């Protein structure tokens, strides 16, 4: 049988020898690059085993059957060995850097948990933005406050029955001057006096901040909550300014179609004092059968009024020269209305199922 140079050596023995040599060589390799070089040398398009297999066609039938089977077996053997060695080496590399058991690099990555702003923070920003757009500045004040600012300066002297509207937690405090009544502020209104003491008209500020009350909690009462106070003082400010400003605010937060209603209310530091309502956005003011406005068609959203002359005089302003308006609102209540939240306690109970919705 004529033998071409390539076919020469294509015998069971030569296949066996080639396989052994290849396997031996393979066992000595220790990195992925030399494995690749080995693959090309034996199993590549011009690899030694590949060329041998090509020579099969030139053998006679009987030889082709036996030798062919052996050659194909040899090819499978080399492929399997290569796969195994590749795995061994990569496991070895992982083990070397000490990560074999701690990281499964084939696992899909864990998504990063995205944080978000607390619903109270979101609504506080929305409320403050509305007033900033109308020229108000933002200031903050102390949560632990003197009785002096929380009550006295707001025309609520000791023994005044209006103090009953604001029960709170008292702090034991005394200095050289003796006992100083100190408390967790019950509202942000004390900042009215602090801001006026520290500056001169014109004043336009909003004061977001945390407040506390000695209170049994239920769906609409918390012992700690936020308020946003507002104060505008200048020469010639009237009740019309109060109405215009708060009307604009209501439309910004609850939609351009909202109507507003002012009714007389009592707060010792304003005169006249009002509560402000918007017509119910859920039933469009119709009222009957509406859960949001409880059939009334109106929703109270804040207290307000013209700054009491005694409060102005208390900080040294001339009440004959300056007038102003003040307002106070509860952001949680605004958020509850806007987003249909039925229990104020959800805000501060740290339940992620609730918080994630915002």
Q: Which stretch binds ligand DAH (CB under 6 A): 2-10, 93-101, 302-310, 344-352?
A: 302-310
Nearer to ligand DAH, 208 or 273 (CB): 273
Task: Please tell me whether residue 328 binds ligand DAH under the rule CB under 6 A.
Answer: yes
Shortest gap between Cβ of 307 and ligand DAH (angstroms)? Answer: 8
Contact string (CB under 6 A) for ligand DAH, positions 170-189, x = contact? -----------------x-x
Is residue 227 flagged as an active site residue? Answer: yes
Candidate list 85, 185, 187, 333, residue with the active-site label: 187
In the list 297, 303, 324, 331, the residue contacting ligand DAH (rule: CB under 6 A) is 303
Half-sphere exposure of 109 (CA within 13 A, CB side): 3
The DSSP bridge partners found for residue 305 are: 273, 326
Reply yes or no on whether 213 is catalytic.
yes
Nearest residue (CB) to ligand DAH, 78 versus 211: 211
Our finding on whether 42 is near ligand DAH (CB under 6 A) is: no
Query: Strand pairing partners for 228?
Result: 208, 329
- In the residue annotation, 326 being an active-site residue is answered as yes
C-alpha of 239 from chain center: 39
Is residue 274 part of the annotated active site? The answer reads: no
State the SS3 of 72-126: HHHHHHHHHHHHHHHHHHHHHHHHHCCCCCCCCCCCCCCCCCCCCCCHHHHHHHH
Q: Which stretch binds ligand DAH (CB under 6 A): 6-14, 75-83, 244-252, 301-309?
A: 301-309
Annotation marks residue 195 as catalytic: no
Task: Please say if 270 is a catalytic residue.
Answer: yes
Contacts (CB under 6 A) with ligand DAH, residues 73-132? none
Rounded CA separation 55/122 (Å) = 78
Binder of ligand DAH out of 229, 250, 285, 308 (CB under 6 A)? 229
Q: How far apart are the first and last CA of the chain?
A: 85
Give yes or no for residue 270 binding ligand DAH (CB under 6 A).
yes
Near ligand DAH by CB under 6 A: residue from 327, 332, 333, 347: 327
Pick from 166, 148, 165: nearest CA to 157: 148
Query: β-pairing, 224-235 with 203-212?
Result: antiparallel
Structure tokens at 304: 């307000």
Which of 82/228 has CB closer to ligand DAH? 228
Q: Kindly report the backbone phi and psi dihedral angles of residue 247, in degrees, each rounded to the nearest multiple of 5, phi listed first.
A: -65, -45
- Residue 242, C-beta contacts closer than 8 angstroms, at least 6 positions apart: 232, 304, 305, 306, 325, 327
Strands (E) located in 128-235 = 137-138, 144-146, 170-171, 174-175, 178-179, 182-184, 203-212, 224-235
Which one among 130, 304, 337, 341 touches ligand DAH, defined by CB under 6 A?
A: 304
Q: Is 305 among the residues that bind ligand DAH (CB under 6 A)?
A: yes
Enumerate the active-site residues.
166, 187, 213, 227, 270, 326
**Residues found near ligand DAH in the complex (CB under 6 A):** 187, 189, 229, 267, 270, 273, 303-305, 326-328
């Amino acid at each position: 049988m004529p033998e071409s140079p390539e076919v020469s050596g294509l015998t069971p023995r030569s296949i066996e020898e080639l396989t052994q040599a290849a396997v031996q060589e393979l066992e000595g390799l220790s990195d992925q690059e030399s494995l690749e070089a080995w693959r090309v040398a034996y199993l590549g398009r011009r690899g030694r085993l590949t060329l041998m297999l090509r020579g099969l066609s030139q053998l006679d039938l009987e030889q082709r059957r036996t030798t062919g089977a052996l050659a194909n077996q040899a090819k499978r053997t080399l492929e399997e060995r290569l796969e195994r060695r590749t795995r061994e080496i990569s496991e070895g590399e992982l083990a070397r850097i000490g990560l074999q058991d701690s990281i499964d690099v084939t696992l899909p990555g864990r998504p990063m948990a995205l944080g978000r702003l607390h619903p109270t923070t979101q609504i506080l920003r929305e409320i403050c933005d509305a007033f900033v757009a109308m020229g108000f500045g933002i200031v903050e004040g102390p949560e632990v406050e003197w009785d002096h600012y929380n009550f006295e300066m707001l025309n609520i002297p000791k023994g005044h029955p209006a103090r009953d509207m604001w029960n709170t937690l008292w702090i034991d405090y005394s200095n050289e001057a003796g006992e100083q009544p100190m408390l967790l502020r019950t509202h942000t209104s004390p900042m009215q006096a602090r801001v006026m003491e520290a500056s001169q008209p014109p004043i336009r500020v909003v004061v977001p901040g945390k407040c506390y009350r000695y209170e049994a909690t239920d769906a609409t009462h918390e012992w700690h909550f936020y308020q946003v106070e507002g104060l505008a003082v200048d020469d010639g400010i009237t009740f019309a300014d109060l109405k215009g400003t708060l009307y604009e605010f209501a439309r910004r937060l609850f939609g351009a179609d909202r109507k507003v209603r002012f009714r007389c209310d009592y707060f010792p530091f304003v005169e006249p004092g009002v509560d402000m309502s918007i017509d119910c956005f859920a039933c469009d003011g119709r009222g009957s059968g509406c859960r949001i406005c409880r059939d009334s068609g109106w929703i109270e959203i804040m207290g307000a009024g013209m700054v009491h002359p005694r409060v102005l005089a208390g900080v040294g302003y001339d009440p004959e020269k300056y007038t102003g308006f003040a307002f106070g609102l509860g952001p949680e209540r605004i958020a509850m209305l806007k987003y249909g939240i039925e229990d104020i306690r959800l805000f501060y109970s740290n339940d992620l199922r609730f918080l994630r919705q915002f």
